[in-house]
Amino acid sequence: MLYAILCYDREDVVESWTPEQDAAVIAKLDVVTDRLAREGRLGPVARLMPTTTATTLRKGKETVVLDGPFAETKEQLLGFFIVECASLEQAIATAKDLGQASSTSGSYEIRPLRLLRPEPPRS
């Protein structure tokens, strides 16, 4: 099963990180993703631009284009990981590993994927 691990966190806090703090988090994430890559379980990884660059298309009878991201939550989607996991348990465990990178209070949304292109690399 393929899982997407979606990273939610407070954008205002993440934007307050210094470049060094930011790099420190990325380095810790790299430790996890490097291992996943060695195991042949890592698909595309993306870091998204700030939500200020987002545009939302609202579907309905007539489509409406809105400025800003979808969802009125306190947190923002800042990126996602695409990871091969044998089970939901393993996806949760992987997300926990990733969560060690910073002590902020963000969340990871875990969701099975139906389709992915390109296919994740296999070792």
CB of 64 to another protein, least distance (A): 12
Residue 119 within binding range of another protein, rule CB under 8 A: no
The whole-angstrom separation of Cα 39 and Cα 35 is 6
Give 17's strand partners: none
String marking each residue 34-63 x if it binds another protein according to CB under 8 A: ---------------xxxxx-x--------
- Candidates 62, 63, 89, 103; binder of another protein (CB under 8 A) is 103
Rounded Cα distance between 11 and 15, Å, is 6
Instruction: Report 6-35 residues binding another protein (CB under 8 A).
Output: 10-18, 21, 24
The whole-angstrom separation of Cα 4 and Cα 36 is 14
- The first and second tokens of residue 80, run together, are 């996602």
Torsion of CA 66, 15, 8, 90, to 10 degrees: 140
Q: Which residue in 38, 39, 96, 105 binds another protein (CB under 8 A)?
A: 105
Q: Which residues bind another protein (CB under 8 A)?
A: 10-18, 21, 24, 49-53, 55, 65-68, 72, 74, 102-105
